[in-house]
Structure 1
Amino acid sequence: MRHPLTVIGGGFAGLTAAIAAAEAGAKVTVHEAHHTLGGRARTAEGPYRTNEGPHALYDGGPHWTWLRRRDLVPALAPLPPLEVTRLRLRHHGVLRRTPPLGLLRLLRHPSHRAPVDVDFRTWATGLVGPEGAEAAAHYSAVALFHHDPGALSAAFVQERLRRATKLPPEARCPRGGWASLVDRMAARAWNLGVRIETLSRVDTLPTGGPVIVATSLDAARRLLRDDSLTWPSGRTVLVDLALRTRRGDAFAVSDLDSPGWIERFGAQDRTLAPAGEQLLQGQIPIAPHETKADGTARAEQLLDLAFDGWRERVTWRREAVANGRTGAVDLPGTSWRDRPAVDRGDGVHLAGDQVAAPGVLSEVSFNSALTAVSLALGRNTLDLKHA
């Protein structure tokens, strides 16, 4: 008899859990509240193929190997070598081509292991001074989306800064948006016999087998009626716009004066917008007291610096606020081990990007999903990773 297992949520974590459990012999049912799978990895339909904020798949983590072995990595959008040279940095209000010296000095000393119990600003200032520390903290926002990265755990920020500045870059973009990855994962699940039910919102935990709750932490808290399921996250303004193409536009612009990043995804993948247009996406972290208008204004300052005449070239534009939807952030004195545990008892397990699992961004969802499956089925996690 195949062991029944229920997965609530059809995003990246939920699909990973469903595939791993089905491969291990479980009879899996996935419940997805929306009419399409993918969660935050959904790609919009229509002429502008946007995700919910900028998305990238880091190829340095364990999920990359796991996806590759199952032929789940879709065609990737290649980054032309020339575009890498068009990364621009705003520093002291001026657009620069090279990072400030303090930031470079910090990156050249990876052997300095940052402590967990000290904030990044204090730790980095002791190594390279306040200017380099602040620039490094703001640059790291590309991988953590927080309005004050310097106030977070030094170890947490250092790992993301290291991953975000590796050469060649680890960040890879599926051609056509993340939907191409979601579609391949869904097909794999179907072929393994996973039952997928969309427009299936679950308000009460099912019985008759283990359950993996692969939703946002807020949704899991409501479903499980467990007020302890909280953890800090980011709050950002998402900026999407399409511009008529013009030679010489920056590939991306990163704000070193305050956290923020805008990237021209059309430089890698021309299928994301109609011919003659370029798709740009950015995230501008905002503090609790700030508004969408504040974040939009900062985004427009970056656009003014890096994309000449952008206002006259806009063919489509959209802004939104994402609150608590950018993954976990660890405050000084905490690490991923202190986040809500995967095992909730009574056969219930959590998976997602804000729970107790290591990794950067989507890697947390992946690692927590495999851990949840191994606990739910009583299997060895390592065996699942290399299956």
Structure 2
Amino acid sequence: MRRLTIVGGGFAGLTAAITAAEAGVRVTLHEAHRTPGGRARTSEGPHHTNEGPHALYAGGPHWTWLKQRGLLGPLAPLPASEVLRLRFHRGGSVLRTPPPAMIRQALRSADRAPVDTDFRTWATGLAGERGARAAAAYSGVALFHHDPGSLSARFVQERLHRAAAVPPEAHYIRGGWGRLVERMVARAWELGARIETSARVDSLDDLPRDQGPVIVATALPAAARLLGDPSLTWESGRTVLFDLAVRTRKGDPFVLSDLDAPGWIERFTAQDPTLAPAGQQLIQAQLPIGPGASRADGVAHAERLLDLGFPGWRERTVWRRESLSQGRTGAVDLPGTTWRDRPAIDRGDGVYLVGDQVAAPGVLSEVSFTSAVEAVSLALRARRGDDRKGLDLKHA
């Protein structure tokens, strides 16, 4: 395979570009925005935020891949004193420790969790109704869904187990994920990949005829439009993203997790003070909402949690931002489905689909990474197969 075209310069697209370029392929990547990164972009200005809270799970395959290539860069370590500031909301009270039944449920491996049973039913039989409800709410930090209990038990338990791992799997890129994107872009350039920004592709027919195989690395709704295939759909979440900068106050928690309903507030400057100006703390939250709820409902949820855990936050606020993320929170698997049932990576005719809602395993960004590596591997194998067929015909 001499050439490969990638549409979309987010985490999946850049992973595919580096993987293919390392194999000696000439890569051209088209990114619609003026800078690559997708949802991994970090905003400019005094408050460095991503599109929702971002963390990198050390237990995933992309951790090793990034580390081997020197792309991880400096991490933002969480001081031991901040670990002790993890708080939980339940029944109007702020707790220092979660319910024991929830802890026992989180420690269970996902291997024995059933695929065809919803998490609420399965976990209730093991942890009781209250323990199952708290566990489902806590798992929201890793799946951004308003009702985790209604999803496949295997799907939810995997995310719950990894989100509650000790020592924590979640790590933070110092300076925000934008720094990781910058290193990935630089690596792709070093390998000879061509990255064209402000280069929107509305149809694959617009690409040059000699572009080689095509990897579509956009959000699933955009991919459906680009490929003219309305069947490219999968269940995702709706979540309100809430960013807040407040004047520093001693005693603010590191994290406040709602165990009554999925919702998570985190003080990101606890591990990385560079994300906000001196004397300020950057808080990011994600509050999943149901189909009939509005952005205002999610914001109200965030404000209730802030009232409980961050005294005087309104008077201390120096900056805030709210947004609604819909269909951009990764795949969620309903009972009876697994990652294998999601839209296939190989779309036929030399077209491949990657991202966080396709048929690849993993948690959060791991799905994007795994699908990108798999797409390049499939394209290489397909090209070798075509070359072998041509060789056989030549000698027939």
Aligned equivalents of 2:33 and 2:256: distance in 1? 34
Aligned equivalents of 1:348 and 1:278: distance in 2? 45
Bigger radius of gyration: 2
- Which residue is 2:360 aligned to? 357
- Alpha-carbon distance, 1:12 to partner: 0.3
Aligned equivalents of 1:85 and 1:112: distance in 2? 30
Q: Name the SS of the counterpart of 2:45 in structure 1.
A: coil
Aligned equivalents of 1:228 and 1:326: distance in 2? 19
- Which residue is 2:238 aligned to? 235
Output the amino acid matched with 2:33: H
Aligned equivalents of 1:369 and 1:64: distance in 2? 14
Give the percent of matched residue pairs that are identical in Structure 1 and Structure 2.
70
- Alpha-carbon distance, 1:170 to partner: 0.7
- Counterpart contact for 2:345–2:375, Cα < 8 Å: yes
- Counterpart contact for 1:146–1:285, Cα < 8 Å: yes
Which region of structure 1 is more displaced relative to structure 2, 371-380 or 294-303? 371-380
- Counterpart contact for 1:22–1:189, Cα < 8 Å: yes
CA deviation map 1:133-152 (0-9, x unaligned): 01000000000000000000
Aligned equivalents of 1:188 and 1:21: distance in 2? 12
Aligned equivalents of 2:202 and 2:298: distance in 1? 35
Aligned equivalents of 1:304 and 1:133: distance in 2? 26
Output the amino acid matched with 1:265: F
Aligned length: 379
Aligned equivalents of 1:272 and 1:119: distance in 2? 39
- Counterpart contact for 1:240–1:319, Cα < 8 Å: yes
Structure 2 counterpart of 1:375, from 375, 378, 392: 378
Return the TM-score normalized by structure 2.
0.94
Structure 2 counterpart of 1:213, from 188, 204, 216: 216
Q: Name the SS of the counterpart of 2:28 in structure 1.
A: strand
- Which residue is 1:302 aligned to? 305
2:283 paired with 1:284 = no
Output the amino acid matched with 1:133: A
- Counterpart contact for 2:246–2:313, Cα < 8 Å: yes
Aligned equivalents of 1:305 and 1:379: distance in 2? 57
Output the amino acid matched with 1:281: Q
Runs of 5+ consecutive residues of structure 1 not aligned to the other structure: 381-387
Output the amino acid matched with 1:74: G
Output the amino acid matched with 1:84: V
2:55 paired with 1:56 = yes
CA deviation map 1:105-144 (0-9, x unaligned): 2134437711000000000001111110010000000000
CA deviation map 1:252-289 (0-9, x unaligned): 10000000001000101111000000000010000010
2:125 paired with 1:126 = yes
- Alpha-carbon distance, 1:93 to partner: 1.6
Structure 2 counterpart of 1:313, from 312, 316, 325: 316
Aligned equivalents of 1:60 and 1:34: distance in 2? 31
- Alpha-carbon distance, 1:153 to partner: 0.2
- Which residue is 1:385 aligned to? none
2:163 paired with 1:164 = yes
Structure 1 counterpart of 2:253, from 235, 250, 255: 250
- Alpha-carbon distance, 1:376 to partner: 1.1
Runs of 4+ in 1 over 4 A off after TM superposition: none
CA deviation map 1:40-98 (0-9, x unaligned): 00000000000001000111111111111110101111100110110110011211011
- Counterpart contact for 2:110–2:157, Cα < 8 Å: no
Aligned equivalents of 1:378 and 1:19: distance in 2? 17
- Counterpart contact for 2:107–2:161, Cα < 8 Å: no
- Counterpart contact for 1:7–1:29, Cα < 8 Å: yes
Structure 2 counterpart of 1:225, from 219, 228, 231: 228
CA deviation map 1:289-336 (0-9, x unaligned): 001110000000110111111000000001000001110000000000
- Counterpart contact for 2:110–2:161, Cα < 8 Å: no
Aligned equivalents of 1:325 and 1:299: distance in 2? 20
- Which residue is 1:383 aligned to? none
Aligned equivalents of 1:263 and 1:26: distance in 2? 41
Equivalent residues in 2 for 1:1-387 (5 A)? 3-110=2-109, 113-205=112-204, 206=207, 207-208=209-210, 209-378=212-381
Output the amino acid matched with 1:313: R
Aligned equivalents of 1:148 and 1:179: distance in 2? 30
Output the amino acid matched with 2:24: G
Q: Name the SS of the counterpart of 1:289 in structure 2.
A: coil
- Counterpart contact for 1:93–1:257, Cα < 8 Å: no
CA deviation map 1:232-254 (0-9, x unaligned): 00100000010000000000100
Q: Name the SS of the counterpart of 2:290 in structure 1.
A: coil
Aligned equivalents of 2:295 and 2:289: distance in 1? 8
- Alpha-carbon distance, 1:377 to partner: 1.4
- Which residue is 1:384 aligned to? none
